[in-house]
A = this chain, B = another copy of it.
């Protein structure tokens, strides 16, 4: 591994000049640049990232904080974050913050890592984060952006999908395929996106006229939560013929429970989810969903983070990206009843 001093020697200039060349900082003469270029070429030199990190007090690394990589939504998100970061020669470290008692401990370890590794920014895609913890980040002057979460503190950008509108699209679609009694399986109402989706649902139910009654049961964004919700819905509102679940995982759970209860989808009940994870296309019947632009979310988050890291300045921009309806078998038109 050649070092910058090897390059300097071969090019017949000082290390400072080589460093300036590498960083496009300060003045460099044509001849010097030329010689350095050749020396770098000849030695197949690449600056050492660790040494540079130490000197600059910043490495080209960002972190993603998420609840669980095995959740397909986050896996897809990470994929796009990674791709975007790589395009800019940045590295990504994933940090899963487990729930429950070790959460605090885990977050502290994360904080420590951030500092000791000179991580440049954090994409926060987890909800289980206390304001106190975000303040800790802020105090350390590490840029961060929130993904589909409310900011918790001001002065941090948020990247989000248009949840309310997506919910309206979903419910409208159910109405269009003939559902007249539409129930909602909501997410944890502590989470903003869950509240927004509920709101969109309510708006659209209201738009449906007075004979549409809202039926709402709260789930927890898990498969099991979706299954349990079905039992409650069937009890509360046996005439339900359409269901909008606040995320795909719960919709898939709902599908399971309905299947077990001997209720046909979409013939008896049409169902639609939210997120657009690839899982929705794998099951049978394929699940209609409102797709978040997952790749775009990740890319935008990286954009914003880079911007913050480079130009500083706490912008508190909120990016709201568009969602798209994907109609599939679970809401097929021409149903029986």
Contact = CB atoms under 8 A, between A and B. Distances in A.
A117 interface: yes
Interface of A: 1, 46-51, 53-54, 59, 68-70, 72, 75-76, 78-79, 82, 86, 91-94, 96, 109, 112-113, 115-118, 223, 252-253, 255-256, 259-260, 278-279, 282-284
Contacts of A70: 72, 75-76, 79, 278
Contacts of A118: 50
Nearest to A76: B70
A141 to B, nearest CB: 12
A117 B50 contact: yes
21 contacts: A46-B112, A46-B115, A48-B116, A49-B117, A50-B54, A50-B116, A50-B118, A51-B54, A54-B54, A68-B79, A70-B79, A75-B75, A82-B94, A91-B117, A92-B93, A94-B94, A223-B282, A252-B282, A256-B283, A260-B284, A279-B282
A255 B68 CA distance: 27
Contacts of A1: 115
A284 B251 CA distance: 13
Given A259-B284, A283-B284, 5 more contacts: A1-B115, A46-B115, A91-B93, A92-B93, A256-B283
* Most chain B beta-carbon neighbours within 10 Å: one of A70, A86, A117, A223: A70
A46 B108 CA distance: 13
A92 B91 contact: no
B96 A79 contact: yes
A79 B284 CA distance: 28
Given A223-B282, A255-B284, A116 B78 contact: no
A242 to B, nearest CB: 20
A279 B255 CA distance: 14
